[in-house]
Structure formats: C-alpha cells, structure tokens
Structure 1
Amino acid sequence: MTPKIEFLFDVGSPTAYLAWSQLPALSERTGAELVYIPVLLGGIFKATGNHPPGAVPAKGMYMMRDLARYSARYQVPLTMNPHFPVNTITPMRIITAAIGTPEQDAVITALYNAMWREPCKLSEPEEITRVLTDAGLDAQAWLEKAASDEVKEQLKANTEAAVKRGVFGAPTMFVGNEMFFGQDRLDFVEEAVKGN
C-alpha cells in the first residue's frame, strides 16, 4: 500500500508555506502520496485556545528570525506579508474547491505565492481575482465555486475533523495516525514514511 502524507494547511501561515515548498520533493523521494487538506487556522485556534506566535512579542521576534533561517536553508523566497494577518477564508474556500481537480496545484501555488513571495492583501476579492487571472486561471469561476454551500461545509468539516485529531496549528502532517507539527519536523515525516 502506498504511504500517505496528509498535509493540513492554511495559506495564511508562513511556516505552512515553507513546509509546502518542501513536501512535493519529499513525497517524490519516498514514493508517498501527498494529500492536501485545507483547513482554517483561525477556526483551529478558536477551537483549541491556541494563539498565533506573534501574540507573544518575544516569540514573534524569534519566529521571524527562524523563518529567515528556514527560507535560506530551503532556498525558497519568503517575503513577510505587510497585511499579515490576512483573513484567508476565501482563498481557503477556493483551495477546497480545487482539491482533486486538474488545477489544484496551480491554484495552491498562485495563492501561496501571493501570500509569501509577492505579497498582497488576499482577503480582497479584487486581489484574489488579479492573482488567479495572472496565473491563467478563471478567477470568476473559482470565486463562484468558493461561495457554494458545499465548499463552505467541506472546509468547515475539514477544520472540525482536524481539531478532533489533535491538530492545534499549521502546518500539521499525518503519516498514518502519527502527527507532526511544524515545518521543522519534515525529517521526522520522512522517517515515518520510510518506516511504513
């Protein structure tokens, strides 16, 4: 049976962005299937009583330095979004609608790039439209899909299921029932895949 890496993410998290930048190569190296599971980080924080690292000033300052370290290690550009924190409910609904479609990777890439490579205010419909259009995607069609009750309920269900599994933040990866939190746990993810 092909092992799976479940990747629970919200594009609003810079650490999830860094993990996303590395997981496809990790998946290819190990032969594991990478399964994208969009969640709402704000919903997870609310349900678990967790808070963003920046809520503690010293922790926020440390995290900024650590993000720069990982960006350099992974050789991945990372520009802090000046609008952070950004309400990502619409982008995450768009991603939820895209899961399993031929445009899944293009949609995720466009939205991640717009958050952390060429940052913009992704809570604004006009910015989302521009970002998707620039990526060669049908922005209006994706916004319409994102507004459907089915997609809204799926994202809500994903988030609630994540909390029930013990998720308290993003990125979170699962290999089987084993949970790994943070972009700095990818070596453990790889070891777990190889051990299955």
Structure 2
Amino acid sequence: MSKTVELILDLGAPNGYLAWYPLKQIVARTGANLEVTPVFLGGMHKLTGNSPPMMRDANVKGKVPYAALEFQRFIDRHELSAFRMHPDLPFNTILLQRILVASSNQDEMQRLVDLFQPAVWERNIDCSDVDVVGRVLEEGGFDAERFLNAAQDPEVKQKLVDNTQSAVDRGAFGIPTFFIGDEMWFGKERLEQIEAYLTGGKP
C-alpha cells in the first residue's frame, strides 16, 4: 500500500515554494500520494510563539548570513533559479489560503498550488489584492468569481482556522511541515529523509 505524504502549506512561506517541486518529484519516484493541507502561517506563529527566521535570528551573529547561504545552495541544487524573494515578506496570504481551502478536491487544490507558487515567488504578486489574484486565477483557467466568493464563505474561513489549529495540535510550528501517518518532519532540508522513509528507511 502506498503511503500518503501530507504537506502543511502556506503560500507565503519561501521554503514552502522551494520544497514543493522536489517533493512532487519524490512522490512521483516513490509512488506515494500527496495531500496538501492549507493553513495560515500568521495564525500558526501566534499559536506557537514562533516567528520568521530573519526576525527571530536577527541578533545571532553569523546565523542569518549562513541561512542565506544554505538557502541559495538549495536553490542551486534543485535548479529553482526562477525564485525571487518577495519584497513584501512577510505578507498576508489569507486570501490565497482560503482559496485553497475552497477547492473541491485535492487535484484542484494542487493545481492551484502549482498556479500560485510561481505567481507569488517568481512574479511577486500582491497576494492581498483581489483583482490581482482574480487575474491569476483567470489566466490559469479557473473560475475567479467562484473562488473569490468562496473565500468570503464563513465555512471556508472556519476551515482554515481549524486546519491551522489541528496542525499545531499535531506538532507543526512552521512551513513546510510534512506528515506521513503520525511521523512529522519540518523543513525543506528533510526531503531526503522523507524519501528514505518512503522507501523503507527509518524516520
């Protein structure tokens, strides 16, 4: 029986973008199933007391430059040269996350992730601008009106809150977080461990 890799994702996390493409390759190589759970990173930070690394580590001598070095090494290794750091980071992604929640199924949700990742992290769109997000949806062949209306649905809003709380209750504190059953991994640097686990290795 194939395993399911659950990705806890907020589209406003640069490491979520970087992990997305290698993760899909791992899933394809191993025959695993991929499931995306949209959460709101801002809410996750409030619930856990976490904060973005560049803020949390700002006063630690040498740590931020080294993190930037490792970040670039990952980009180079996985040939993700289209990535552009968003000038407004950290920014509000609640509209995008609600749109993901409003998906009718995992296939549609993952196609939306494929659409929004380059829009956010290659073109650096304004994620809170309804008109801009609507154009991205239309250009991707989606019904923009349907998703923008759904993003205001109280049930969709509550589902995003519930997803975030549930992820935190299970141990998540940042993006990207991965679950295979009850096993959890955090960070794009854990992708090799995940692939090893999917092929019979230890967690």
Q: What TM-score do you get using the length of structure 1 for normalisation? A: 0.93
The answer to whether the 8 A contact 1:174-1:180 is kept is: yes
Q: Partner residue of 1:169?
A: 174
Q: Partner residue of 1:79?
A: 84
The CA deviation at 1:10 is 0.4
For residues 141 and 64 of structure 2, the distance between their equivalents in structure 1, rounded to whole angstroms, comes to 36
- Matches for 1:1-196 after TM superposition, within 5 Å: 1-55=1-55, 56-57=57-58, 59-76=63-80, 77-98=82-103, 100=105, 102-195=107-200
For residues 69 and 137 of structure 1, the distance between their equivalents in structure 2, rounded to whole angstroms, comes to 35
Please, which runs of 5 or more residues in structure 2 have no aligned partner?
Answer: none
RMSD: 1.6
Which amino acid counterpart does residue 163 of structure 1 have in structure 2? V
The CA deviation at 1:87 is 0.0
For residues 177 and 106 of structure 2, the distance between their equivalents in structure 1, rounded to whole angstroms, comes to 22
Residue 89 and residue 106 in structure 1: after superposition, are their counterparts in 2 closer, same or farther (change >3 A)?
Answer: same
Please, which runs of 5 or more residues in structure 1 have no aligned partner?
Answer: none
Task: Give the SS at the match of 1:83.
Answer: coil
The answer to whether the 8 A contact 1:98-1:104 is kept is: yes
CA deviations over 1:48-72 (Å, ceiling 9, x no partner):
1111001032544433332222111
Which amino acid counterpart does residue 62 of structure 1 have in structure 2? Y
More helix by share: 1
Task: Give the SS at the match of 1:84.
Answer: coil
CA deviations over 1:134-188 (Å, ceiling 9, x no partner):
2222211111111111211111111000011111101000112111000110011
For residues 30 and 103 of structure 1, the distance between their equivalents in structure 2, rounded to whole angstroms, comes to 22
Task: Give the SS at the match of 1:108.
Answer: helix
Task: Give the SS at the match of 2:44.
Answer: helix
Task: Give the SS at the match of 1:103.
Answer: helix
For residues 100 and 89 of structure 2, the distance between their equivalents in structure 1, rounded to whole angstroms, comes to 19
Identity, % of aligned pairs?
38
The answer to whether the 8 A contact 1:106-1:135 is kept is: no
Residue 195 and residue 30 in structure 1: after superposition, are their counterparts in 2 closer, same or farther (change >3 A)?
Answer: same
The answer to whether the 8 A contact 1:36-1:99 is kept is: no
The answer to whether the 8 A contact 1:8-1:173 is kept is: yes
Residue 102 and residue 16 in structure 1: after superposition, are their counterparts in 2 closer, same or farther (change >3 A)?
Answer: closer
Which amino acid counterpart does residue 96 of structure 2 have in structure 1? P
Which amino acid counterpart does residue 30 of structure 2 have in structure 1? T
For residues 33 and 121 of structure 2, the distance between their equivalents in structure 1, rounded to whole angstroms, comes to 25
For residues 63 and 126 of structure 2, the distance between their equivalents in structure 1, rounded to whole angstroms, comes to 24
Residue 80 and residue 129 in structure 1: after superposition, are their counterparts in 2 closer, same or farther (change >3 A)?
Answer: same
